[in-house]
Each structure stands twice: as C-alpha cells, then as structure tokens.
Structure 1
Amino acid sequence: MPARLPLAFRLALGPELRLWAKAGHAPVLWWRDDDARGPTGPLEQLLSLARRREAPLTLAAIAGPHLTDLVRRVETEPGVEIAVHGFRHVNRQPEGRGFGEIVEGDEVEWVRSQLRATVMAFHRAGVAPSLFVPPWNNLRPQLLEALPDSPLSAVSGFDQNAGVTGGVARLDAHLDVLRWKDGARFRGTWKFLSRMRRLLKQRRLAGQWNQPIGLLTHHLDHDHATWLFLEQFLAIFPIRSRADLMGDAPAEPTALSA
C-alpha cells in the first residue's frame, strides 16, 4: 500500500489499517464482477482496469446467446476466471417478494437439472467453471442441496465468512461499489470505506486476519464516479484470485452427459 493514503482513505481507514500493520497483517481482498453477458464497451473498460492494476477478476457470466463470444474474449486475459451466474438470470419471484430465479415450490431435482444444463452450456462455450454465483445473491435451500451433486465445487453469495455451506466451499462478496435503490449508481466513497472499516475491525477483533473480503462490481451499471473510485481503490489494495484463496485450480473443459 502507498506510504500515504489519499485523504478519504486515510480518514476512513487509516487508524484501522495501522492496527493491522502493527499486528503484521494486511487485508485479504478478492474481486467479483456480476452480470457479464458478452463483449461490450464496459467489459473492455473492466478488463483494462484489471490488467493495469494486475488484479485477478472473477467474472460471473450469464449463459446467454453471447456466452461463446465472452469466453473467447477473456481467454487471453490470464487473470480472469469465469463463473456461472445463475441459469438464465431471470427473476421468478412473485411480485413484491424480492428477486431470485429459484422459488419456494421448486423441487431440488429441477434445480439439479438446471445446474447441469447450464454447466453444459459453459462447457460448449469452451470453459469449465467451478464457481456458482446465484443472481441477486439468492442462496435458496434447494440450490444448496443440489450443488454438491453438480460439476460445481464452490458458491459465492453476499456478506458471509468464507467456509463451507451446504457441503460446498463458499467465498462471498462483501463490498458492493453500487447502491441500487432508484437505479444503480456509485455508493459513495465514505459509505463504501466505512463498511470496509467495519469489516476490517470485525476480522481484527476475531483474529480472522486471513478471512477474505470480496469487492463486488457490476461493470454494465457503472457510472463515471464508480470507475474513478475503482481506479483509486485498486491502486491501493492488492487483489487475490478466487482460485488462490480457495485452492481451486482451473479445470479443462470436459464432456458432460445429458
């Protein structure tokens, strides 16, 4: 980290980071970006940012018509991992009941079949993902029951400590750079850094120095202020790869039976 932090970072995080440094530790961060659908201008901006900052990136992708184009675009980006972002990223919740593509009455076997069909689509596109990211971070019980029987070995939601959930490894995001009420926009420097300070303090007090903190972005929804903040943030904090944190080596695409 720079010897002298920018003012906002120094005010929000300086005292906490000094306590970490005194204990001989530094924050462990990883980066997940959601809703990738295909090659776009914002995706190029995201990849350029990750490349310049040498920041490994987990790109949660939707199995849509442009998935193969997306896979081909990022296969030359060595720091980018593709994850499965839901079945089709379609909200099936009744109106007023939030968001999610798995609803209360869905059978586990149906969820299992959806997982398998989606993973097959990724394999046909040329990539063998190991991580599942449910849309809207909605980890329904049926999903957690079905995942251990799928080709996927890990799941990522929001705001829990890394560990095992429902028999699969779990690594969550914690710091959403956007706020969503009344339309996506930058959360704000102070709100973002204040939450990060709380997360750092929780880990320090619990002695969980190596408990990862996940940065969450949505490149298709970033405004100018979001991109500017990310440039600054990634210049300060090193990012670890999801595979490194979970000991998960990328797999080669293999054939799946229907």
Structure 2
Amino acid sequence: MSTRIDWSPLRRELARWRREERVLPIWWRDDDAVAVTPALHQLASLSAELALSVHVAVIPKYAEPALAAFCADAPTLVPLVHGWAHQNNAQAAQKKSEFGHYRPEAPAETQQALDRLRGLFVADLLPVFVPPWNRISPDLIPHLAPQGYRALSTYTPRRAPCPAPGLLQINTHIDPIRWRGGGGLLDPERQIGDLAALLVERREGRQDNDEPLGLLSHHLVHDAAIWEFCRACLSELLTGGAVGADLRDMLGEAS
C-alpha cells in the first residue's frame, strides 16, 4: 500500500519539523481486547517489528486470564482499562457510549473495572481509563483519580492536559477505519491530508504538541488494507523523525 498512495504531504511536513529541530511524540492505542486471537498475535508482531509499544485497551468484564499471560510475555503490549462491559447505555437519540452520561452506578463500575484488571494483569496494568466509543460524562471524570486511575484517553486533541486533579489526558488523533461506511479503510489520502494539517497546527502552536500524537486501531476488525495502513503510517512517522512514546514512561515521569 505504501507504494500506491501519496505520502508526500506528510513527508513534506515531517521534513520541516526536522529542519526546525522539532520533536513529535507519537503513541499507539488499540481497543477492545478480551482474548488471545490471531489478530492479537498480528498486533503484537507489528508492534515488535516497529519497536513501538501498543497500548491495548482491555474490556474488564470479559477479559480472559490467557490475555494477561500473553501480555506478560509481550513487552511491547501495555494493557489499559476499556470501560467495564463495553455496553451501550446511551438513549435512543444519543451517540453510542457506555459512560457518556452520568449514571449513579458509573463510579462503582469504573472502580470494578480497575480492580478486576489489576487482579488479572497485576503490575503490567497501566491505570488509564479508555471509555468505549471515546465518550465520557464530565461528571464522572473527577471520580477517576481517587479510584487509582492515572490518565484518561479518548479521541481528538485534548482540551487540557489535566481534566481533573491528579489525572492526565492523553488522546488519540488518527483512526483509519471507515466506521460510518460499514468498515474497511478510510480513504488513505484523506487521512494523510488530515494528519499533515494537524501537524501544521501543532507546529504553529494552535494544538498541544506536548500531547503525543496517537494512532487508534481496533485489531479485531482489521482487514489487510487497515493493517498495512497502520504499518505504513507509523513507519512514515518514525522514519520521518517522530519519537515513539510509551505511557509507562510518561506516567512515571508525572508521578
């Protein structure tokens, strides 16, 4: 795929970053893990090939013990907390979400989610809350840090580094899947153009470049084109001068 699409807008912008000696941090998050599957093996292989950690958002209610053992043997896989049951609790007219509006039982579910995954993954778990569908009620966010969470991760550039005391926000910004079109790869050249434009905004100070630029993937629904785009996009960024970020290091520095 990398030979069939035009990466030149991204390459030009990355070249300018290098000339100006700017640092672009990047990170990778992958959602919806519950079990060891062939797709998870492929995710781990790609992460190792790129030497870039992939932060795997695990659904706590359904997570299997074998997944914890697999992650323990794969040093580039970093487990995070992906909601509780990945259940849509939105009203009929609302966009899908598990925690998009405040429910009295929601704080108990986020605590239960953290406790269960700590029991499975022990020290390998990074206490980062990833709400399903990337939506979370502002009223729930202040509960997370007192429960033991260190960070929150959703989608699109963050509004502030710390949405609540003791809690960082580290979002994702690139999603290669055409969710509204029934799946498959979103138009690659559109993605490249959007990514280059986002880098211009970061370079010009209109977006927060202290937040690592994040790729969001969903290994369970990838086809060959999506896998190849993820590989090619991350490779272009890394060979263009971007620096891979591991949230284990970032949160350690913030403590």
TM-score interval, normalised by the smaller of the two chains: 0.7 to 0.9
Of 84-93 and 9-18, more deviation after overlay is shown by: 9-18
Q: Distance in 2 between matches of 1:54 and 1:29?
A: 12
Quick one: which amino acid aligns to residue 118 of structure 2?
A: H
> Kindly, what percent of the aligned residue pairs are identical?
27
Quick one: which amino acid aligns to residue 78 of structure 1?
A: P
Quote the residue 2:189 is aligned against.
Answer: 190
Aligned residues: 244
Quote the residue 2:114 is aligned against.
Answer: 119
Q: Once the two structures are superposed, what CA deviation does each residue of 1:74-99 show, in whole Å capped at 9, x if it has no partner?
A: 11111211000001110011123111
For residues 35-54 of structure 1, the aligned pairs below 5 Å read 35-54=32-51
Gaps of 5+ in 1: 251-258
Q: Distance in 2 between matches of 1:142 and 1:38?
A: 31
Quote the residue 1:95 is aligned against.
Answer: 92
* Structure 1 residue ranges (4+ consecutive) displaced by more than 6 angstroms after TM superposition: none
Q: Distance in 2 between matches of 1:62 and 1:248?
A: 27
Quick one: which amino acid aligns to residue 123 of structure 1?
A: R
What TM-score, normalized by structure 1, do the two folds share? 0.86
For residues 53-92 of structure 1, the aligned pairs below 5 Å read 53-92=50-89
The answer to whether the 8 A contact 1:36-1:60 is kept is yes
The answer to whether the 8 A contact 1:25-1:209 is kept is no
Q: CA deviation at 1:25?
A: 1.9
Q: Distance in 1 between matches of 2:61 and 2:52?
A: 26
Q: Once the two structures are superposed, what CA deviation does each residue of 1:137-190 show, in whole Å capped at 9, x if it has no partner?
A: 002123212112211111101112361112211100000111201322111221
Backbone CA RMSD of aligned residues: 2.2
The answer to whether the 8 A contact 1:122-1:129 is kept is no
Q: Distance in 2 between matches of 1:191 and 1:44?
A: 29
Quick one: which amino acid aligns to residue 249 of structure 2?
A: D
Gaps of 5+ in 2: 239-243
Q: CA deviation at 1:105?
A: 5.3
Secondary structure, counterpart of 1:69 in structure 2: helix
Q: Distance in 1 between matches of 2:133 and 2:234?
A: 24
Q: Distance in 1 between matches of 2:42 and 2:101?
A: 38
Q: Distance in 1 between matches of 2:21 and 2:4?
A: 23
Quote the residue 2:241 is aligned against.
Answer: none
For residues 1-258 of structure 1, the aligned pairs below 5 Å read 8-102=5-99, 104=101, 106-107=103-104, 110-127=105-122, 128-161=125-158, 163-167=161-165, 168-206=167-205, 209-238=209-238, 239-247=244-252
Q: Distance in 1 between matches of 2:126 and 2:246?
A: 14
Q: Distance in 2 between matches of 1:202 and 1:24?
A: 16
Secondary structure, counterpart of 1:126 in structure 2: helix
Q: CA deviation at 1:66?
A: 3.8
Secondary structure, counterpart of 1:78 in structure 2: coil
Q: Distance in 2 between matches of 1:9 and 1:213?
A: 21
The answer to whether the 8 A contact 2:84-2:109 is kept is yes
Q: 1:182 to 1:233 in 2, by over 3 A?
A: closer
Q: Distance in 1 between matches of 2:252 and 2:102?
A: 35
Quick one: which amino acid aligns to residue 25 of structure 1?
A: R
What TM-score, normalized by structure 2, do the two folds share? 0.87
Secondary structure, counterpart of 1:82 in structure 2: strand
Secondary structure, counterpart of 2:180 in structure 1: coil
Quote the residue 1:253 is aligned against.
Answer: none
